[in-house]
Chain A
Amino acid sequence: MNFLQNKELNENHNITKTGYRALFLLSQLIKQPLSRNEIIEILERNPVIGKDLSKDSITNTINTLRKAGCIISRPSQKTQNKYVLKFHPFCIGLDKNQINALQTFRDAVIAHEDWQLVLHINNLFAKISKLAPDNVSKEILNTNHPFNDINIDILNTLILFIKTHKKAKFVYKSAGYGLEELEFSPEYITFENNKLYIWGHNSKYDSFGYLRIDKIKEVTTPIYNAPKSDVQNFDRPSVTVEYILKGSSAQTFVCNEYEEIIKKEESIITVRSHVKNKFNFYQRILSFGTDCKLLSPQSVQKEFLQIIKDIKAGYSYGD
């Protein structure tokens, strides 16, 4: 808020100047911490407040704000001799029910896997978290989403590198090798199973693949502008898999961006999926249980059957 003077009113109207001064000081402290001299300087520039403010009148105004419920820290070396407004009770805030409603809306959107919309909602909720009535509600707005472990600066850098075809060095925490340095030309981002993945060419392994964005710990300055040909000539491995779904899994099925329903007969649907991330794909297929059967290709059927056998083996060693 600008707190410019209302043009229809001026200091000659019937107003309380000391009250105005308290409000004006509050508005300035909301913007930034201020030292006593800075406060005097700012207040004296305001035509309503005028000149010749004593240090005592500043102290009195600060005490007035404190009595009204503001928490203002005393100037000290720690605060660089500035008054710091830590809390004020003049917020038009949200209550817990309203925060839960906002969260329900976000959850409903997350289910549809539009990661960009989820990011926009997260940004919005982070901004409005200062309107939360308590720390628990603030945490809901700030952290109840699947992108908590993602460094937003890294994500923004990745988005920029995709747009500008940059190749960069990544520090990546991989499951098997711990922290490793990779050269990577990012191409696009996907959102599956509540995780964000970046796809591109990995120079270290000379292959096109994906990295989990929450596992990228650092992205260094781009090495060079990767020519389009550099990334487009690589074969992007994807396996086309077809499967049928029945029962509640068919009823509640939502296609992800690599899937299409190619046949629908009563309550049975046939899905074609261009699988790039097999781990996620098998997780998805497992969760359908016996509602799902893989139709083709046989290599995927075999791999899936081995996974089932491995799970079964885990139980066989039990009691």
Chain B
Amino acid sequence: MAISKINNAGYRLIELLKELIKSPLDIDELLEIVEDTADNTYRKELINKYLNTLRLFNLSVIKQKDNKYYIQRGIDTIDFNEKDLSVIKLMKNSLQQIQSIELKENLAAALQILEKNFSDSTCNLISEKTINPYVQNFKLALYDKNIQNFEKYCKDKLKLTIKYKNSSTSETEKYNIAPVKIIYKNKNAALIGYNYATNSYKEFLLENIIEVTQMPQISTINLSGSLTFKLKNRLAASYKLKEGESVIEQGPDYIIVSNNLEDKDLIIKRLIRYFNNCEILYPKSMKEKMLNLIEDMEKMYAEIL
């Protein structure tokens, strides 16, 4: 295979730029990269020459206090308009209120990267105009104060015993669960837990969890049988599978879906929204639960007949 002729100095400079984009580096580290690239030894002055070239190219090469250099903005930048910037500002402002440490750190890092990709015209726009954050009049579920504690429980992977206030009955219930993850629903944050009593997942609104005891045992999850339901007519064609779902049978005007993950109480509330285009098939207990719910709802309007 023919070896293509290349420009060695250009190649060394570009390899150096590639590394500088990844992380801040000092002169010695930069020299090592260049030497590795060329399999040769060079003087440190060569690095200054390369940094000068990058600067002449208008790349902002910044020297940190620890004498490491980094590239402030990328080479392939993005033009953001005023609306984009107002959304970025909204996300930036929301960081103060986001409770999940992991989410906050990752979102902050993502926003920093976006800033590194601002084009010249974006920077000009920012310097010429005051960019206001998008006005948002609602409180995101991400701001729930209890999130940090439960995030830690999920990471610890130890069994939990929780006392939980049932919103419908106002009674306190006790659950032994394996904490799985935090999810965000409407204005609430909830813990997904694997309930050992029913061998199924359940959602717990964080604000209804009254007491938590972390047990010394490692949490384990043995997935029980799935719930299967039939979707008919147009819904069968347009249905978008959710996480943990698969189609196990398909006919001309129906599909049968298996669901492994969803909270068994909540899935009933979701499936009833599909009117008579949906029917729970298995397990029998869930089918009966749905029928009981329908009959209870029917009774609520008995007086109007």
Query: Do most interface residues of chain B lie in helix, strand or loop, or is the interface mixed?
Result: helix
B56's partner among A9, A69, A308 (CB-CB below 8 A) is A9
B276's partner among A8, A107, A310 (CB-CB below 8 A) is A310
Task: Tell me the chain B residues, 277-295 only, with Cβ under 8 Å from chain A.
Answer: 278-279, 281, 287, 290-291, 293-295
Q: Which residues of B come within 8 Å of A, CB atoms?
A: 4-7, 9-15, 17-18, 21, 45, 48-50, 52-58, 71, 73-78, 80, 83-84, 86-88, 91, 94, 102-103, 106-107, 109-110, 113-114, 116-117, 119-120, 134, 136, 138, 140-142, 166-170, 184-188, 205, 207-208, 234, 268-270, 272-273, 275-276, 278-279, 281, 287, 290-291, 293-298, 300-301, 304-305
* Contact call A64/B167, Cβ cutoff below 8 A: no
* Chain A residue total in the interface (Cβ 8 A): 103
In the complex, A65 has a CB within 8 A of chain B = yes
Question: Considering only CB atoms, which chain B residue lies closest to A69 in the complex?
Answer: B18
* Contact call B270/A89, Cβ cutoff below 8 A: no
* Contact call A64/B11, Cβ cutoff below 8 A: yes
Number of A-B contacts (CB under 8 A): 290
When distances are taken between beta carbons in the complex, the residues of chain B under 8 Å from A91 are 21, 74, 76
* Contact call B10/A89, Cβ cutoff below 8 A: no
Report the minimal beta-carbon distance from A147 to chain B, rounded to whole angstroms: 13
* Given A3-B58, A16-B10, A247-B168, A305:B120 Cβ within 8 A: no
Bound-state Cα–Cα, A286 to B71, Å: 55
When distances are taken between beta carbons in the complex, the residues of chain B under 8 Å from A251 are 167, 188, 205, 207-208
* Contact call A267/B187, Cβ cutoff below 8 A: no
Bound-state Cα–Cα, A237 to B106, Å: 47
Interface-central residue, B6, B45, B71, B141, by most chain A CB under 10 Å: B6
Bound-state Cα–Cα, A261 to B298, Å: 25
Given contacts A91-B74, A128-B78, A304-B301, 12 further A-B contacts (CB under 8 A): A13-B52, A98-B109, A101-B102, A101-B103, A101-B106, A102-B107, A107-B184, A128-B114, A248-B168, A286-B275, A312-B295, A318-B287
* Contact call B279/A318, Cβ cutoff below 8 A: yes
A27's partner among B9, B49, B75, B275 (CB-CB below 8 A) is B75
* Contact call B10/A90, Cβ cutoff below 8 A: no
Bound-state Cα–Cα, A68 to B12, Å: 9
In the complex, A258 has a CB within 8 A of chain B = no
Q: Give the segment of A115-123, A161-169, A196-204, A221-229 that binds chain B.
A: A115-123
Could you list 29 A-B pairs, sorted by A, with CB under 8 Å? A1-B119, A2-B120, A3-B58, A16-B53, A18-B9, A20-B56, A23-B53, A23-B54, A24-B57, A27-B57, A60-B7, A61-B10, A63-B4, A63-B5, A89-B18, A90-B17, A97-B106, A101-B102, A104-B184, A109-B136, A120-B134, A127-B84, A131-B78, A248-B205, A283-B275, A288-B269, A289-B293, A293-B300, A304-B301
Bound-state Cα–Cα, A250 to B187, Å: 12
* Given A6-B55, A14-B49, A248-B168, A19:B301 Cβ within 8 A: no
When distances are taken between beta carbons in the complex, the residues of chain B under 8 Å from A89 are 18
When distances are taken between beta carbons in the complex, the residues of chain A under 8 Å from B76 are 1, 30, 88, 90-91, 130
Question: Considering only CB atoms, which chain A residue lies closest to B73 in the complex?
Answer: A1
* Given A14-B49, A252-B187, A311-B294, A101:B116 Cβ within 8 A: no
In the complex, A78 has a CB within 8 A of chain B = no
* Contact call A20/B53, Cβ cutoff below 8 A: yes
Question: Considering only CB atoms, which chain A residue lies closest to B281 in the complex?
Answer: A318
When distances are taken between beta carbons in the complex, the residues of chain B under 8 Å from A314 are 276, 278-279
* Given A107-B184, A111-B141, A23:B106 Cβ within 8 A: no
* Contact call B141/A108, Cβ cutoff below 8 A: yes
* Contact call B275/A2, Cβ cutoff below 8 A: no
Interface-central residue, B48, B113, B166, B278, by most chain A CB under 10 Å: B113
B140's partner among A69, A90, A99, A109 (CB-CB below 8 A) is A109
When distances are taken between beta carbons in the complex, the residues of chain B under 8 Å from A207 are none
Task: Tell me the chain A residues, 1-35 only, with Cβ under 8 Å from chain B.
Answer: 1-6, 8-11, 13-16, 18-24, 26-27, 30
When distances are taken between beta carbons in the complex, the residues of chain B under 8 Å from A9 are 52, 55-56
When distances are taken between beta carbons in the complex, the residues of chain B under 8 Å from A112 are 138, 140, 186-187
When distances are taken between beta carbons in the complex, the residues of chain A under 8 Å from B142 are 104-105, 108
Bound-state Cα–Cα, A120 to B289, Å: 42
* Contact call B304/A298, Cβ cutoff below 8 A: yes
Which 6 residue pairs are nearest across A and B when measured between Cβ atoms?
A247-B168, A19-B13, A22-B10, A101-B106, A248-B167, A98-B110
In the complex, A236 has a CB within 8 A of chain B = no
Question: Considering only CB atoms, which chain A residue lies closest to B106 in the complex?
Answer: A101
* Contact call B208/A267, Cβ cutoff below 8 A: no
* Contact call A286/B58, Cβ cutoff below 8 A: no
When distances are taken between beta carbons in the complex, the residues of chain A under 8 Å from B281 are 318
* Contact call B10/A94, Cβ cutoff below 8 A: no
When distances are taken between beta carbons in the complex, the residues of chain B under 8 Å from A254 are 138, 186-187
Bound-state Cα–Cα, A90 to B71, Å: 11
Question: Considering only CB atoms, which chain B residue lies closest to A70 in the complex?
Answer: B14
When distances are taken between beta carbons in the complex, the residues of chain B under 8 Å from A90 are 17-18, 21, 74-76
When distances are taken between beta carbons in the complex, the residues of chain B under 8 Å from A267 are 167, 170
In the complex, A71 has a CB within 8 A of chain B = no
When distances are taken between beta carbons in the complex, the residues of chain B under 8 Å from A14 are 45, 48-49, 52
